[in-house]
């Protein structure tokens, strides 16, 4: 799947992933209204609105981008109906030939991590049959529990030729509280980065590993160091746009080959029509066109930053 991700990136010439993190306040009223009319002001109604909103955005941008990253929390908050909308979104994006990165940040020990891995990337056995539960292409994984917690994911990745992105240095303001702690003369995130490279070395695609890393756009200098520590690791970079990361901050996350990183933007794309930049040109009715324009602009921003380095 890392090979497919890279080939999708090369085809679209866009190292971009669109974060499908729907919040009710992003969804235009005409969609919510119709969904509530159909299913009531219920969890099912909310899930229907989310699904219609996602579908319109995906339809508007799928030819421009290699991948999407639905954030499962935004669906899970609506209970079972929300998770049904998550699954529908995953399936629909795969039909559109997009690589789907499930942003699930799971992580546990041994058989429990194996259960998450099976449920999101692999197949589970029921009697004499096998079934895929959620069937994303990649998922994000939390490393706090150490190798025991990550290895079961790597095993499933090898079996299914899928991938993971392990949290190394997250984009949020307080990520340094634990991740930046100095141990043996270097910050913890570097140690996690080394482990990511080690776990990944036994699960290689053609040029990059099945085991990627998450490093926030908001910490470009740390990204530079981590790029060197993990040369064969694809880096998923959140924090662009709404969180403050800019195109020029991103160049350090890429390798010389122009590959090695994929930059996420969520609300900057999916709620573009609410943004001052696009508000005058787009109405809530053509929110998906605003999303398309935001993708084009992001692509341009990153391309010119990479060209200027």
Q: Does 79 interact with a second copy (rule: CB under 8 A)?
A: yes
Minimum gap (Å) between residue 132 Cβ and a second copy: 8
Q: How does DSSP assign the chain, residue by residue?
A: -HHHHHHHHHHHT--EEE-----GGGS-HHHHHHHHHHH-SSHHHHHHHHHHHHHHHHHHHTTT-SEE--BTHHHHTTHHHHHHHHHHHHHHHHHTT-EEEEEEEE--SHHHHHHHHHHHTSEEEETTEEEESS--SEEEE--TT-HHHHHHHHHHHHHHT-EEEEEEE-SSGGGHHHHT-EETTEEHHHHHHHHHHHHHHTSB-SSSBSEEEEE-TT-HHHHHHHHHH-TT--EEE--BGGGSB-HHHHGGGS-TTS-SEEEEESHHHHTGGGSHHHHTT--GGGHHHHHHHHHHHHHHHHHHHHHT-
- If the CB atoms of residues 82 and 205 are measured against a second copy, the closer one turns out to be 82
Is 161 buried (19+), middle (13-18) or exposed (0-12) by CB count in 10 A? Answer: middle
- If the CB atoms of residues 176 and 284 are measured against a second copy, the closer one turns out to be 176
Among 15, 28, 107, 205, binds a second copy (CB under 8 A): 107
Please give the structure tokens belonging to residue 282: 């787009």
Enumerate the active-site residues.
105
Q: Does 128 interact with a second copy (rule: CB under 8 A)?
A: yes
Q: Does 30 interact with a second copy (rule: CB under 8 A)?
A: no
Residues 266-305 that bind a second copy (CB under 8 A): none
Minimum gap (Å) between residue 298 Cβ and a second copy: 20
Residues 5-24 that bind a second copy (CB under 8 A): 21, 23-24
Q: Does 54 interact with a second copy (rule: CB under 8 A)?
A: no
Residues 200-229 that bind a second copy (CB under 8 A): none
Among 43, 64, 207, 303, binds a second copy (CB under 8 A): 43
Among 110, 244, 279, 304, binds a second copy (CB under 8 A): 110
Q: Does 97 interact with a second copy (rule: CB under 8 A)?
A: no
**How many chain residues touch a second copy (CB under 8 A)?**
73
Q: Does 77 interact with a second copy (rule: CB under 8 A)?
A: yes
Q: Does 115 interact with a second copy (rule: CB under 8 A)?
A: yes
Q: Binding marks (x or -) toward a second copy, 168..207, rule CB under 8 A? A: --xxxxxxxxxx-xxxx---x--xx--x------------
Q: Binding marks (x or -) toward a second copy, 130..149, rule CB under 8 A? A: -xxxx-------xxxxxxxx
């Amino acid at each position: 799947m890392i090979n497919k991700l890279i080939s999708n990136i090369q085809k679209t010439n866009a190292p971009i992933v669109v974060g499908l993190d729907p919040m009710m306040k992003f969804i235009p009223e005409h969609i919510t209204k119709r969904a509530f009319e159909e299913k009531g002001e219920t969890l099912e109604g909310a899930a229907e609105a989310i699904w219609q909103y996602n579908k319109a955005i995906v339809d508007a941008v799928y030819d421009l981008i290699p991948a999407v990253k639905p954030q499962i929390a935004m669906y899970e908050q609506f209970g079972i109906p929300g998770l049904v909308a998550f699954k529908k979104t995953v399936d629909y994006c795969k039909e559109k030939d997009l690589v789907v990165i499930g942003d699930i940040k799971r992580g546990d020990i041994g058989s429990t991590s194996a259960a998450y891995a099976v449920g999101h990337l692999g197949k589970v056995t029921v009697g004499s049959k096998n079934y895929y539960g959620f069937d994303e292409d990649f998922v994000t994984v939390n490393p706090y529990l150490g190798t025991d917690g990550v290895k079961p994911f790597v095993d499933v990745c090898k079996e299914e030729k899928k991938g993971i992105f392990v949290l190394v240095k997250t984009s949020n303001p307080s990520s340094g509280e634990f991740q930046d702690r100095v141990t043996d003369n270097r910050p913890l995130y570097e140690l996690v980065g080394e482990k990511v490279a080690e776990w990944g070395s036994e699960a290689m695609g053609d040029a990059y590993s099945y085991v990627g890393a998450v490093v926030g756009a908001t910490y470009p200098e740390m990204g530079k160091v981590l790029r060197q520590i993990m040369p064969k690791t694809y880096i998923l970079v959140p924090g662009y746009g709404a969180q403050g990361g800019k195109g020029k901050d991103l160049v350090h996350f890429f390798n010389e080959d122009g590959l090695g990183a994929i930059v996420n933007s969520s609300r900057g794309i999916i709620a573009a029509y609410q943004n001052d930049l696009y508000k005058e040109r787009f109405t809530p009715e053509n929110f998906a066109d605003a999303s398309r324009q935001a993708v084009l602009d992001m692509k341009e921003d990153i391309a010119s930053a990479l060209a200027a380095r």
